[in-house]
């Protein structure tokens, strides 16, 4: 699966996970999608589905957006490591969201 494929599959899985968990997912933070695209451990639809389920479970009550931080368990060092590494190239992706629809 290529980078673009991963992003499209991840967006689909976020929406599907939201429906399965009775949560509305309308937006995804672009930094989270950047993480998905560059993570070599997220190469199958199953891995992306599992990430989507965990991310939706971590969403704040009443929120309809997947935030970058929702991709990680609280205190996960990978969160900070990727953030620091990507900051020079992707700072404008933090806090920016992509609207997703079926």
List, for residues 45-59, the tens digit of each pLDDT value: 999 999 999 999 999
**What pLDDT is recorded for position 1?**
80
pLDDT digits (tens, 9 = 90+) for 66-99: 999 999 999 999 999 999 999 889 989 999 999 9
State the SS3 of 1-67: CCHHHHHHHHHHHHHHHHHHCCCCCCEEEHHHHHHHHHCCCCCCHHHHHHHHHHHHHCCCCCCCEEC
Helices 45-57 and 3-20: angle between axes, nearest 10 degrees:
50
pLDDT at 95: 94
- CA pair distance 95, 1, nearest whole angstrom: 27
- pLDDT computed for residue 87 by the predictor: 87
| pTM listed for this prediction | 0.93
């Amino acid at each position: 699966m290529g980078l673009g494929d991963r992003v499209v599959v991840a967006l689909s899985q976020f929406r599907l996970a939201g429906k399965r968990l009775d949560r509305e997912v309308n937006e995804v933070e672009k930094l989270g999608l950047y993480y998905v695209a560059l993570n070599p451990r997220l190469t199958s639809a199953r891995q992306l589905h599992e990430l989507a389920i965990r991310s939706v479970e971590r969403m704040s009550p009443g929120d309809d957006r997947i935030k970058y931080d929702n991709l990680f368990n609280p205190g996960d060092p990978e969160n900070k490591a990727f953030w620091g590494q990507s900051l020079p190239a992707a700072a404008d992706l933090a806090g920016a969201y992509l609207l997703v629809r079926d």
